[in-house]
A and B are shown apart, each in its own frame.
Chain A
Amino acid sequence: MSIDMSQFHQVFFEECFEGLEAMESGLLTLDMGDIDSEIINTIFRGAHSIKGGSGTFGFTVVAEYTHIMETLLDEMRDGRRKVTQPAVDVLLGSVDCLREMLTAIQNEQNVNNASVEKHKTALEVVLNGGSVAEEPALPVEQEFTSEEVSFNDAPDVDEEESVGLDEQGWKIAFCPYLDLLKTGNDPVRLFRELNELGELTTTVNIQDIPGFYELDPEECNISWDLKVVGDISGDEIREIFNWVEGDCEMEIQPLAKAVKLLPVVKKIDPEPIPVIIPNNPAPKSVEVKPKPVTETKKPDSQDSDNEAAKTTAKASSIRVDTDKIDTLINMVGEVVITQSMLGLVGENFSMDKVGQLKRGLAQLERHTRDLQQSVMNIRMLPISFVFSRFPRLVHDISSKLDKKIVLKLVGENTEVDKAVVELINDPLVHLIRNSLDHGIEMPADRVAAGKPETGTIELKAYHRGGHIVIEIIDDGRGLDKDKLLAKAIEKGLIEENNLLTEKQIFELIFMPGFSTAEQLTDISGRGVGMDVVRRNIQSLGGNIEIISELGKGTTIAIHLPLTLAILDGQSVAVGDETYIVPLVSIIESINITERMLNKVAGKGETFRLRNEYLPVIRMRSIFNVHSGNPTKSKEGVLVVVEGQGELCCLLVDELLGQQQVVIKSLEANYRRVEGVSGATILGDGSVALILDVPGLVRFSIR
């Protein structure tokens, strides 16, 4: 009775990646001079549990690889070996290599043997104290290829090597009695076991199935012709069928004719072994040849299944603090109590119970809000999930660039929504790379500029209002306004003689054309793809700003909403319809009359707000609202909003109220609508659209 191990794979991979992260951060904090045995222990534990796990699941490649790491770490732990920088670097490399392997296995792809081999050799060099251990590496490699890391967990694949061209196997006629299924036997399970012995081909005979009216679904009306290919003894097969012996007619014959079948299979597969052969030393390759019969089929199906595999890998889970769950359970308890209390009040209701009812409802409201909060909390993860990758990045890049840089992390425990955590990573990597590459100067230049030789990059996260702010602060050379300006003029992005504020100049680096400039490295700008970074951040509902001083450093601040699921909104009425304006984008609201709007020839209307003329968007006309009282916009409310750094006014009929709304996707069943970022369900069950303020501004300009 075998358990389906694949159900545990996801957990295993998650644990592995966590272990790898722990190992990585451990390795990075190892101080050469003074070895903290606790850190080595942590690293060792990480490696050990990966080894154990991968052994259990049959990922031998990983297990063997980790074993070598473990040996090295073990010696370090016992003090038999000194911890040296090269050794640590090799270990860091191995962590990467393991991660690659695991990712490949997770996506059911082939492990890149060449790179594994490289890292393994490096490890062994360190282990053997310098002598290149080429020889021992090879036999192990042999095992890699023969296992090819499949989910098949079929350790017997090797057996087939000895089979050669004389294919052996069995032909089984399996004809169960009608009541086979009633005895609890499942033919599928038998076949699965057979498949583990060798390649199984099944032919189903369904001619005995009666018509639909006579059909009893609990009866087994099917019989099978089975072919198993492989060096299997008859006893092994009989053992499998042991349980069903009394419940079926069965005939087992050694396979003779199937040999002819095999070359055909080979021909179908035009690309048999290229993946395997190059890694195999010559003498063995002869034996390997028959293998493709089973093996080569895998890469084929894998390729086509790749897409699917990737998507399933994405179906992520989340680890939640038990404390959070406990709070949640407490909250639910409270809600249940309140509910039963209200039920009691309602049972024999009389007017003198009104006070009690009100109290109960107030309580219910409070509990519901708390409950909502704690549920939302479950999705919150500390930002350290993102930050923890950066020490490694800084370590690698700074040594590549010959710069001395330390990374300071502040506020790693700040919590953000899981979706934000997942999406913020790429933009951050980009920004940090830029800081490393273009921001921080070479040590010599720094000393010349009177700064400490070692540059500092600070990665800081904190909450402000309903937002999380992530700052990347470097003490590098800063942005050179004049050069940025010159570049922009040269690129034709702005007119010469244009007066720009400091902020506007820094904004230039977010312009799409700007990034394609050849090597911005030579001026002190930041180069590639900043427009993409900004777009990504804006798509999360955030914004990004730059503060920089020439020679002193640059600060890039990213503001992001804490969660993508709930939003504070102001509901406004336009005609009979209700729309939600995100509260964060509202600056103020003003009651106006028609006369206060100034017509601008052909270009719509403006409103003068404290000496500033702001464009006015009439929600009625832009959304074609005809309902309600026809445009008597003598009275209305101007909602001053900010979208993409621009102020603008929305003319609505009435302000209704503020409330938290749960964002629902319009796109799930429908499509994107211009000027609308999503929808929500109001208290009365009707749907209200949430306005996308920047989109609305863009839309109105057209």
Chain B
Amino acid sequence: MAQEAENKDIDQYHYSRNLDNAVQYLSFALGKEEYGVDILRVQEIRSWEPVSRIPNVPCYEKGVVNLRGSIVPILDLRERFNLSKAEYTPLTVVVVLQTGDSNKTRIMGVVVDSVSDVISVDKTEIQSAPDFGTKVSNEFINGLVSVNERMVMLLDVDKLLKLEELDQDES
């Protein structure tokens, strides 16, 4: 009982404190690390299904799937961040994200190990990311935040989904 009440208190605390400049993030796990993306960018969460491979592209671009009639590319975040590969199981999750500006939006799916939670983050509590060296490319990370003693890395969806070769290809 006491535990429950305490939890409630914490929730209440989070709730009221974050009203002003709270941003909600969807957090998910890659191995032991936890990442978050702006929840407004998340279109849906799907289970992994086999993709159609695209020839001659970087290995983290797994391929494309048919998402209700549109062709949507799937990126593997583990491979994107040079983490160790994991087998795809029926529990593997694809988070479908929207990116782009008002003129043109793109939809892409990213493969993650599992989706954990929706977290409310006070903007003022976001710390800038220290230099990670090479393991996780710093450029994708907007900042860090700690939630219940866990560190969550907040990802910049636009940078994450920007396919580098895109412009060169078209020239």
Task: Name A residues whose Cβ lies closer than 8 Å to a Cβ of B.
Answer: 212, 311, 577, 622-625, 664-666, 668-676, 679, 681, 685-689
Contact = CB atoms under 8 A, between A and B. Distances in A.
Contacts of B57: 673
B73 A669 contact: yes
Contact of A212 (B19, B55, B108, B165): B19
A664 B107 CA distance: 14
B99 to A, nearest CB: 9
B166 A671 contact: yes
A618 to B, nearest CB: 12
B124 interface: no
Interface residues of B, number: 27
A681 B67 CA distance: 10
Contacts of A666: 64, 71
B106 to A, nearest CB: 5
Contact of B52 (A622, A671, A674, A686): A686
A686 B50 contact: yes
B168 to A, nearest CB: 10
B53 interface: yes
Contacts of B2: none
A670 B64 contact: yes
Contact of A689 (B52, B106, B108, B163): B52
11 contacts: A624-B55, A666-B64, A670-B73, A671-B165, A672-B169, A673-B56, A675-B55, A676-B55, A681-B66, A687-B64, A689-B55
A554 B87 CA distance: 64
Contacts, number: 72
B70 A668 contact: yes
A577 B54 CA distance: 10
A624 B58 CA distance: 12
Contact of A623 (B55, B70, B107): B55
B72 interface: yes
Nearest to B20: A212
Q: Is the interface of B mostly helix, strand, loop or mixed?
A: mixed
B21 to A, nearest CB: 13
Contacts of B54: 670, 673, 676, 689
B4 interface: no
A673 B71 contact: no
B13 to A, nearest CB: 15
Contacts of A689: 52, 54-55
A119 B139 CA distance: 59
B66 A685 contact: yes
Contacts of B56: 623-624, 673-675
B65 interface: yes
Contact of A688 (B52, B72, B73, B108): B52
A675 B54 CA distance: 11
B149 interface: no
B64 A671 contact: no
Contacts of B107: 669
Contacts of B73: 669-670
B65 A673 contact: no
B170 interface: yes
B69 interface: yes
B170 A672 contact: yes
A277 B65 CA distance: 60
Interface in B15-40: 19
A680 to B, nearest CB: 9
Contacts of B170: 671-672
B55 A669 contact: no
A687 B52 contact: yes
A331 B101 CA distance: 40
Given A671-B169, A676-B55, 6 more contacts: A311-B103, A623-B55, A670-B71, A679-B64, A685-B66, A687-B63
Interface string B56-95: 1100000111100111110000000000000000000000
A670 to B, nearest CB: 4
Contacts of A665: 71
Contacts of B165: 671
B104 to A, nearest CB: 9
Contacts of B55: 622-625, 673, 675-676, 689
